[in-house]
Amino acid sequence: MKSQSLFAAVSLAAVMLFASSVSFGETRAAIDQGVHATMQQFDQLNPMHKDLLPRAKGVLVFPKVTKGGVGVGGQFGEGALLINGKAVSYYSVASASVGLTLGLAKHKEIILFMTQEALDKFTTSHGWTIGADTGVAVLSKGAGGSYDTQTLQRPILAFVFGEKGLMGDISLEGTKVTKLDDK
C-alpha cells in the first residue's frame, strides 16, 4: 500500500513537472515561425519531400511536441494547418497514457493530407484522433529515409522527426488533434 502511494506521488510530480515544461498558448507569430523552420528542415531531410509536399491537399505541422512522464505520461504541442503554403488554422496535439512510460523528449510532427476527402474529414471533425483513422501511415523514421509507393497511396502520411531527449516510444496512436480558438 505504501509503495502504491509513493508511486502515485512520484507519477503526479512527474506529470506536473512535464506540464510546467510545456509552453502552452503560443502566439500565432511564434507558431508560424516554428512551422516555417520545421518545413525547411523537413525539405532538407529527404529530396523526395520536394515532390511529395505539393501533392498534399493540406499539411499539419507541429514544430515542437513535448512528450514525457513517469508511469503516467502525456504529450502536448501546437501547430498550424497549411493549405497552399499558407496557415489557415491553428491546432493543438495532446495525448495521455498510463503504463511503462519513462523519460522526456521533444520531436516535430508533420501530417500530410494526400486526398481532399481526408483533409475535409479532418477539418470538419471536432477533435480528430490519430489511429482512429486507419488510413494514417506513421513514418517515424521516414522523414529522412525512403518510403515505398504503397505507403504513398495512403490518404494521410504522418512524419515524426527531430527527436531530442530520451523516450521509449514514438507512437502517435491515440493522439488527439484539436482546433485552437483564435489567438
DSSP state of 116: H
Total of domains in the chain = 1
Among 9-18, 28-37, 136-145, the least confident range:
9-18
Q: Name the pTM for this structure.
A: 0.78
Block residue for cell numbers 495525448: 95
Mean pLDDT of the chain: 78
- CB of 81 closer than 8 Å to CB of 112: no
Percent of the chain with pLDDT over 90: 36
Among 13-27, 80-94, 98-112, 134-148, the least confident range:
13-27
d(CA 15, CA 26): 20
Q: What is the torsion angle, in degrees rounded to the nearest 10, for the CA atoms of residue 96, residue 100, residue 104 and residue 110? A: -50
Measured from the Cβ of residue 97, the count of other Cβ atoms closer than 10 Å reads 17
Range(s) of the domain holding residue 16: 2-179
Confidence class for position 135, pLDDT limits 50, 70, 90: low
Residue 169's identity, in one-letter code, is: D
